[in-house]
Amino acid sequence: MNVLNNIHVLVLDVDGVLTDGTITYDPATGREFKSFHVHDGLGISMWMKAGNEIILISGRNAGVVTKRANELGILHVIQGSTDKIADLESTLALLGTTPDQTAFVGDDLGDLAIMQHVGYAIAVHNAAQEVLDAADWVTKRAGGHGAVRDVVEHLMKAAGTWSAAVKAYETEITHQ
């Protein structure tokens, strides 16, 4: 059986995957800013509409990540993680699934351990060389620039669910 047919959980690092890794602070307030790509948001929505799960795991804490996750309907958001594998395991237990049914998308050295722990490891195009070397697949686009959408298309096409997901959007647009 193709390992990609068994992937139902997509785990995303945040900084460098959902964002380009840039952290900007407002000099007056100290508030943190991040930019998210709309293509990634649509890809995440398509993945979840197909009955799959998304988990965000980040070593940092940022209110804007919670806000974006809420906008997209992502229920499983772990910020301030000091042990991504333990946090993943507890979330997978809640979902009743296993690491073998999980893909992880990372960009930097802190992602190497979890990449080796899951069934399918993915690196964004501009990831650290060690992460690229550890990946089962590498996106065409860089983190924060549509890489997550690349991942969703790749996984759904491999599972044979992409065409139906696109068709649903064609139908939705036609009826508006």
Q: Is 139 helix (H, G, I), strand (E, B) or coil?
A: coil
φ, ψ dihedrals at 159, nearest 5°: -85, -5
The reply to whether 152 falls in a domain is yes
Sheet holding 120-123: strands in order across? Answer: 76-78, 53-57, 9-12, 102-106, 120-123, 137-138
106 falls within a domain: no
In a domain, 2, yes or no: no
pLDDT by residue for the chain (176 residues), tens only, comes to 578 889 999 999 999 999 999 989 999 998 888 999 999 999 999 999 999 999 999 999 999 999 999 999 999 999 999 999 999 999 999 999 999 999 999 999 999 999 999 999 999 999 999 999 999 999 999 999 999 999 999 999 999 999 999 988 777 655 44
Q: What's the pLDDT score for residue 169? A: 77
DSSP one-letter code for 129:
H
Element (H, E) at 168: helix 162-174
What is the count of structural domains for the chain?
A: 1
Question: How many CB atoms sit inside 10 A of residue 2's CB?
Answer: 8
Whether residue 163 lies inside any domain: the answer is: yes
Q: What is the spatial distance between Cα 141 and Cα 126, in angstroms, rounded to a whole number?
A: 8
Q: In whole angstroms, how far apart are CA 125 and each of 73, 107, 169?
A: 26, 8, 27
CA–CA distance, 64 with 32 (Å, rounded to integer):
8
| Domain assignment of residue 57, yes or no | yes
Domain containing residue 44: CATH number = 3.40.50.1000
104 domain-assigned: no
Asked if residue 28 belongs to a domain, the reply is: no
CA 37 to chain centre: 12
Domain boundaries, position 54 = 8-16+37-99+111-174
pLDDT of 168 reads 84
Residue 84 covered by a domain = yes
